[in-house]
A and B are shown apart, each in its own frame.
With several copies, the nearest count.
Chain A
Amino acid sequence: MPGLEDLYREIILDHYKNPRNEGTFPTPPAIKAEGHNPLCGDELTVYLILEDDVIKDIRITGQGCSISRSSASLMSVAVKGKTLAQVDRLLKIFKSMMSISTNANGEPEAVEPEEYSERELGELVALQGVVKFPVRIKCATLSWNTLIQALEDRAS
């Protein structure tokens, strides 16, 4: 049985207790999206300030468990200042780490984790242990899915 320390790394507890980039932005200029985890009712709102193809700033509000809150906080740090292409790459790596990935039809499909360096992931690597607790994967990915939602809503 995987131990609690696999799940609740120190970085995670830190981001949970001291979430970065918490709060809201007025919309506009920000864009936003709401996400929720039907399993537990957790809810999250992501606000993005985009300039050209760069995420200039991000804020997140909501309620959730330690994994979903810390993952949101970690994500906010990871994507701030990044181009959309960079975010896309990060997302792909993150999903690989969570051992969920999607096929051409957007359908979930288990795949081999692709190649990536830990350096690219940075602090996000702290969430690696979540994969041993499959029910919690949805907690870890909630903020990412909400981020994608915000970007897709804007595109359409």
Chain B
Amino acid sequence: MERMNTPTATSKPLNVSEIRKDFPIFTRHDGRPLYFLDSAASSQKPLSVLQAMDDYYSTTHANVHRGVYQLAEHATELYEGARFKIGRFVGAPNPSREILFTKNATESINLLSTSLTRGPLHRGDVVVLTEMEHHANLVPWLIAKEQFGIEIRYIRIDDNGYLILDEIDKILEDAKVLSVTLTSNVLGTLNPVAKLARLAHKNGAIVIGDGAQYVPHIATDVNELGLDFLAFTGHKMLGPTGIGVLWGKADLLEDLPPFLGGGDMITDVRLDGFTPNELPWKFEAGTPPIAEAIGLGAAVDYLENLGMDRVREHEVALLSYAFEKLESNFGKDITIHGPRNISDRSGVISFDFNNIHPHDISQILDQSGVCVRAGHHCAKPLMRHLGIAATARASFHIYNESADVDALIDALAKAQAFFG
């Protein structure tokens, strides 16, 4: 990575070749080289995460919360310990009450759209979203609109992939909810969430952050961001599938009606009604993702051990390197979407290349072992805004290195030759 320029680097860069040894897929995959540039869809997992889950199942598994015997008690301690650790990772003031486990970020946002319409929201209330949201932060609100009758307003985006804030006061006027992604999974834009949160709070709105693409890559503090709720997902941050997280301020969660009904989320059930449980269990119906929480706890350990500042610096360096290489090699043949300024971006690069359809690009790249995503990236309204049906997208995580970018460049050159 000699050629990277990292102006803000303040600490020792990540030792990527050591890191890669921790990820079995880079040695155990089918023998062909693997240039995995699709971590924005889902990251790979270090051995320590797999082992934490295996160890749990092999020594301590029992259902949590209700058992008196030691095995169940230890399982509960591990599960609740993971909750605490994950909460601290995003700066939750009171993790043991404010961190709710869900199945993915999508469920976290559905929990909010449902419980908010069962509670504080009224028909006709305004929810503000942006045009760059992932479907996970669109469809739950569209369902709430259809079923309950909220009004949705959108913050638009400009030609460089930034939110247009000229009329923000008008958009936020009387808004009850602002729900916004911390960073776009297509454009990479890092949104000015702290500022938006201040404005929204002035209007009395609650502020929800979609951190699915942010928490895995950038040191996150819910207080600094000024959020009331934060949704994120395990599988994009080195953790297992099957687990998501919702952080919420305790007093707001306290006032929200429950979401799913079932065991664990109640203190009493009668034939004619029920009484919800305390936080956080009020929002965790049924047997939770126990092993997955423990696995995600191990993923957080792994990331904290590297240091999230170093993770971010590494990705900025890779981004710079990739921008430079892509532009010097392909010039006008490539169009990269989103901000030009690297420090305004997270580690995803969506691009159009030579008018070759992203499916074809991805297919040809795959032949060289280069994995990029092709499609609408679950952001169809944004795609419509961009006037395209699909993009190819390369995205980074800690195990990526300049060799991945070089492989991408080589494979793109092949695609150019093939379809040129």
Smallest CB separation, B237 vs chain A (Å) = 25
The residues of A that contact B367 with a CB separation of less than 8 Å are: 1, 3-4
Q: Which residues of A contact B77 (CB under 8 A)?
A: 134
Tell me if A85 is interfacial: C-beta within 8 Å of chain B. Answer: no
Query: How many angstroms from the CA of A64 to the CA of B360 in the assembled complex?
Result: 10
B interface bracket (residues with beta carbon within 8 Å of A): 20 to 34
A66 in contact with B419 (CB, 8 Å) = yes
Question: Does A107 lie at the interface of the complex (its beta carbon under 8 Å from any beta carbon of B)?
Answer: yes
Structural contact, B389 and A63, CB atoms closer than 8 A: yes
**Residues of chain A contacted by B360 (CB below 8 angstroms):** 65-67
User: In the complex, are the beta carbons of B94 and A36 less than 8 A apart?
Assistant: no
| Alpha-carbon separation in the docked complex, A7 to B68 (Å) | 13
Residues of B within 8 A of A107 (CB): 94, 97, 250
B-contacting 9-mer, from A24-32, A37-45, A71-79, A89-97:
A37-45
List the B side residues contacting A42 at CB < 8 Å.
389-390
Chain A residues, CB < 8 A from B76: 134-135
Given contacts A41-B376, A63-B389, contact A108 B96 (CB under 8 A): yes
Instruction: Determine which of A1, A38, A41, A139 lies in contact with B383 in the assembled complex, contact meaning CB atoms within 8 Å.
Output: A41
Encode contact with A along B345-367: 1 for CB under 8 Å, 0 otherwise. 00000000000011110011001
Is residue A105 contacting chain B, with contact meaning CB distance below 8 A? yes
| A-contact 0/1 string along B18-45, CB 8 Å cutoff | 0000000000000010000000000000
Instruction: Tell me the smallest distance from the CB of B284 to a CB of chain A, in Å.
Output: 14
B266: min CB distance to chain A, Å: 7
Pairwise interchain contact A39-B364, C-beta atoms closer than 8 A: no
Quick one: CB contact mask for B372-384 with A, threshold 8 Å, 1 for yes? Answer: 0011100010010
Q: A39-B375, A41-B380 are in contact. Are A133 and B363 (CB under 8 A)?
A: yes
The answer to the question of B66 belonging to the interface, with a C-beta cut-off of 8 Å to chain A, is yes
A2: min CB distance to chain B, Å: 9
In this complex, the member of B359, B389, B419 whose beta carbon has the largest number of chain A beta carbons within 10 angstroms is B359
- Please give the number of chain A residues whose Cβ is less than 8 angstroms from any Cβ of chain B in the complex: 26
On whether the beta carbons of B390 and A135 are closer than 8 Å, the reply is: no
Decide if A66 touches B389 in the complex (CB within 8 Å): no
How many A-B residue contacts, CB cutoff 8 Å? 69
Contact B389 A40 (CB under 8 A): yes
Q: Is B17 among interface residues, defined by CB-CB distance under 8 A?
A: no
B301 at the interface (CB under 8 A from A): no
Contact partner of A4 among B70, B96, B267, B364, CB < 8 A? B364
A7 interface neighbour in B94, B363, B390, Cβ under 8 Å? B363
Known: A41-B380, A66-B357, A67-B359. A134 touches B73 (CB 8 A): yes
Chain B residues with a Cβ under 8 A of chain A: 32, 65-68, 70, 72-73, 76-77, 94, 96-97, 250, 266-268, 277, 357-360, 363-364, 367, 374-376, 380, 383, 389-390, 418-419
29 contacts between A and B (CB under 8 A): A1-B70, A4-B363, A7-B363, A36-B267, A38-B266, A38-B268, A38-B277, A39-B66, A39-B375, A40-B358, A40-B359, A40-B374, A40-B376, A41-B383, A41-B390, A43-B389, A63-B389, A65-B357, A65-B359, A66-B359, A66-B419, A105-B250, A107-B94, A133-B363, A134-B76, A135-B68, A135-B72, A136-B359, A139-B359
17 further A-B contacts with Cβ under 8 Å, apart from A4-B367, A40-B374, A66-B359, are: A1-B70, A1-B367, A4-B363, A7-B363, A8-B418, A39-B375, A40-B376, A41-B376, A42-B389, A64-B357, A66-B357, A107-B97, A133-B73, A133-B363, A135-B72, A135-B73, A135-B76
